[in-house]
């Protein structure tokens, strides 16, 4: 109905305005303290979320700010920034580059569950079931109740048992 369409447009406009304020604040903060790692993570995360919900072109901004943090600011060994970069690359369809970033972050921090889950998911997507299984086994060892990890691990083990390596 027209009322629902109007309400959706109002919500979208409010989301865009909230995004713009958050973006401006984070950019200002980065300009003020450019050496603070977390601000790059927060801004990359904001851009990835905006790319997911507002406009896919924001994924480019996420990649750009993550690369700036990694390449220009020297945050090469920051797994959270690598995770954000992998998320944006994956959203853009660059699966191979996302896989490399997720792998790098997963190796840096074996306890970073979100990275491990992403890494295993991309490995499975690329048909690298052994890496996916090994990664998910680590996740389940850390968090045995993690339902996504448990279910995905069972599916991958079934694929491996069926000879789909």
What DSSP assignment string belongs to 78-106?
-HHHHHHHHHHHHHTT-HHHHHHHHHHHH
CA–CA separation, 146 and 165 (whole Å) = 24
Flag whether the pTM goes above 0.95. no
**What is the rounded average pLDDT of the residues 34-56?**
96
pLDDT in tens, 95-133: 999 999 999 999 999 999 999 999 999 999 999 999 999
Burial class (CB in 10 A: 0-12, 13-18, 19+), 54: middle
Higher pLDDT, 13 or 165: 13
CA–CA separation, 16 and 26 (whole Å) = 15
Tokens of 105: 């972050």
Side-chain-side CA neighbours of residue 131 (13 Å): 19
Contacts of 156 (CB under 8 A, 6+ apart): 120, 124, 129, 132, 133, 136
Side-chain-side CA neighbours of residue 161 (13 Å): 6
* The pLDDT value given to residue 159: 85
Contact between residue 142 and residue 111 where contact means Cβ atoms under 8 Å apart:
yes
* The pLDDT value given to residue 78: 92
């Amino acid at each position: 109905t027209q009322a629902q369409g109007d309400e959706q447009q109002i919500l979208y406009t409010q989301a865009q305005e909230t995004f713009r304020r958050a973006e401006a604040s984070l950019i200002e903060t980065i300009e003020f303290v450019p050496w603070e790692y977390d601000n790059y993570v927060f801004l990359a995360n904001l851009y990835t979320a905006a790319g997911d919900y507002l406009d896919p072109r924001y994924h480019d901004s996420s990649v750009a700010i993550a690369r700036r943090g990694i390449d220009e600011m020297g945050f090469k060994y920051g797994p959270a920034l690598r995770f954000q970069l992998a998320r944006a690359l994956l959203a853009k369809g660059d699966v191979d580059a996302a896989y490399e970033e997720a792998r790098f972050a997963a190796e840096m921090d074996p306890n970073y569950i979100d990275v491990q889950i992403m890494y295993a998911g991309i490995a499975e997507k690329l048909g690298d079931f052994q890496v996916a299984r090994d990664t998910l086994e680590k996740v389940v060892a850390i968090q045995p109740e993690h339902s996504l990890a448990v279910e995905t691990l069972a599916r991958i083990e079934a694929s491996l048992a069926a000879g789909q390596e």
